[in-house]
Amino acid sequence: MRVLFSSVPSQGHFYPLLPLARAFARRGDQVAVLSGAALAADIAAEGFEFLRAGASAEELFAEAARRTGADAGAGASPAAVAEFFAGARLDLGGDAALDAARAWQPDLIVNEMFDLVGVFAAAGLDVPLATVSTGPGVPPEFLGAIAANAAPRFETRGFPVPTALPAGRWLLETCPPDLGASQAPTSAQRWTLRPEAHRGPAGDTTSPPVPAPRRPRVLVTLGSHFAAPDVVGRLLDDLTGGDDPLDVEFLATTLPGTDATAVPHKSEHVTLLPFQPLSRLLTGAAAALIHGGAGTTLGSLAEGVPLVVWPQGADQPVQAAAVGHAGAGIGLASGPVDPQALRDAVRSVLTDPAYAGAARRVQQQIAAMTAPDQVAADLAEALTEH
């Protein structure tokens, strides 16, 4: 079987697809990934075929901002978000993606929730589509705006118009019950897919080892888009300053491809490492301070690690609220945060056993979800029945 995965050109969108893509590869199926050049190295490391199509994330942000006057990365405007995912992305790469997919001839396309290129290719080729969810739901006004913005791009080519998202035959739900599964109206069959903390390819030794903790360790990561060195440096100084310093050690990362030594900070109790698989960074962590990306949130909870979520944009406030509602951590408000409030949140998550208990409960719920190998087998069987 030939399975084509399609993703926005960003590690944060691509990595949650990897468990299922690897499961298809283990079955002996041919796997390809349709995306932008930013993911070429990650895709090559997995041994998947890379179908390059579309603009970079930076180009898409710039074009969406030019068209709407708003920053899609901030996530505050449905119109700006819809222009990024369904306007600029389809206009700057939809036809090229369709041509690449047509040449590859997939039997199944798998996209992540915000990837409209995969929906576009599936509609144009009349190929079954499965959509991997991105966490505890997306506000309906955002999904509605994305679908509405995509509609004319489908109509002008005579493709079936997605009236709602997700638009595929299957919705592969990665969110455990305590975080609130996505409630988007859809006719898709809802199956669960167990999420996991991102792991590197088998045999990968490119990242430096994570040292063993000497005291309680807190992981600090703002993901693959928001973790600019100066932002991480200020955050670390806020965490380690004040008159009541936390008696912990911090492990922090910055953006992919960025030298970790470029992060300016003053603390002696910080270890900085290059961007690398989350599963390694969580080793020995008693808690994590994260931005609230869906992959990072679910991956951390899959390891039973309680969280402080400081959302930076996009749908991250939704993740922060879900984590707080589940009791598995503290969700902060977006925007500037008072350093004392930040330290208090980290201290509470470390010292109040209720947070760790709730995180373990969510971890157990994730463990009970359908394993990627079983989902791959079930999808393959469903395709043979039609």
Confidence check: pLDDT of 139 > 90: no
* Residue 288, domain extent: 217-367
Q: Which two tokens stand for residue 232?
A: 């991480």
Task: State whether 58 and 156 are in the same domain.
Answer: yes
Q: Is residue 60 part of a domain?
A: yes
Q: Is residue 237 part of a domain?
A: yes
Percentage of the chain modeled with pLDDT above 70? 96
Task: State whether 291 and 186 are in the same domain.
Answer: no
From the centroid of its chain, how far is CA 193? 14
Task: State whether 124 and 161 are in the same domain.
Answer: yes
Task: State whether 17 and 160 are in the same domain.
Answer: yes
Confidence check: pLDDT of 162 > 80: yes
Q: What is the CATH number of the domain that holds 186?
A: 3.40.50.2000
Q: Which two tokens stand for residue 233?
A: 């440096």
Q: Which two tokens stand for residue 161?
A: 């118009």
Confidence check: pLDDT of 176 > 80: yes
Task: State whether 187 and 50 are in the same domain.
Answer: yes
Model pLDDT, residue 185: 63
Amino acid at 96: A
- State how far the Cα of 79 lies from the Cα of 129, in Å rounded to an integer: 25
Q: Is residue 207 part of a domain?
A: no
Model pLDDT, residue 212: 72
The Cα-based distances of 248 to 143, 235, 349 in angstroms read 41, 15, 12
Task: State whether 358 and 379 are in the same domain.
Answer: no
The Cα-based distances of 86 to 73, 79, 118, 243 in angstroms read 14, 10, 11, 48
Q: What is the pTM of this model?
A: 0.93
Q: Which two tokens stand for residue 58?
A: 């930076």
Number of domains composing the chain: 2
Cβ atoms 334, 311 nearer than 8 A: yes
Q: Is residue 80 part of a domain?
A: yes
pLDDT in tens, 235-245: 888 898 878 88
- State how far the Cα of 320 lies from the Cα of 292, in Å rounded to an integer: 6
pLDDT, mean over the chain: 90
pLDDT in tens, 312-368: 877 788 899 999 999 999 999 988 889 999 999 999 999 999 999 999 999 999 999
Question: What are the DSSP calls for 321-380, one per residue?
Answer: HHHHHHTSEEEPPSS---HHHHHHHHHHHHH-HHHHHHHHHHHHHHHTSPPHHHHHHHHH
Task: State whether 302 and 235 are in the same domain.
Answer: yes
- State how far the Cα of 312 lies from the Cα of 182, in Å rounded to an integer: 21
Model pLDDT, residue 182: 61
Task: State whether 142 and 267 are in the same domain.
Answer: no
Q: Is residue 62 part of a domain?
A: yes
Model pLDDT, residue 345: 96
pLDDT in tens, 92-112: 999 999 999 999 999 999 999
- State how far the Cα of 200 lies from the Cα of 194, in Å rounded to an integer: 17
Task: State whether 159 and 239 are in the same domain.
Answer: no
Place of tokens 């993703």: 7
